[in-house]
Amino acid sequence: MNVQQTVQETKLQKLLDHRYGWDLQYCLKVNLRLMMGYAATNIFIQGSEEQGQLASEVRFLWEQNQTLKEQLSQGSRDKHKENDKLREALARRTAKLEQSRAEGEALRQERGRLQDRLELSTQEHAQLQDALHSSREELHRYTSSS
């Protein structure tokens, strides 16, 4: 058994387990037992009635196998669609995250500019308060001396 075959069987197992609750190993073992049983009994089969029954059972198993293949294929398509939707949702959320990060950075820069302006305004206010205080003292001295 090569690596690719093992990977395919693992994917098939996960899909069967998730989608249908089937155990791939069990299905393979049952099919193998059936094939081995038919191979062993095939030597001893006599008569067209038994061969007809065997052919009917083989046809039934083949049809069942085709149905399982179709279900697996449909499950794969469904998973592919689901993955596409998840990728699209992830892309939208990633874009929104990037936009939020850019907005956050712009807000941080604006906050820095506003803090600088506040500091300058506070200094200017303090200087004006000092000037007002000095002017009042000078006015008080002037009115007191006259």
In tens, the pLDDT along 102-144 reads 999 999 999 999 999 999 999 999 999 999 999 999 999 888 8
In tens, the pLDDT along 76-90 reads 999 999 999 999 999
Confidence at residue 52, expressed as pLDDT on a 0 to 100 scale: 76
User: HSE of 19 in the Cβ direction (CA atoms, 13 Å)?
Assistant: 19
Confidence at residue 135, expressed as pLDDT on a 0 to 100 scale: 94
CA dihedral 44, 49, 50, 51 (to 10 degrees): 90
On whether the CB atoms of residues 38 and 61 are closer than 8 A, the answer is no
* Across 86-105, average pLDDT: 98
pLDDT, averaged across the chain = 82
Domain boundaries, the chain: 45-145
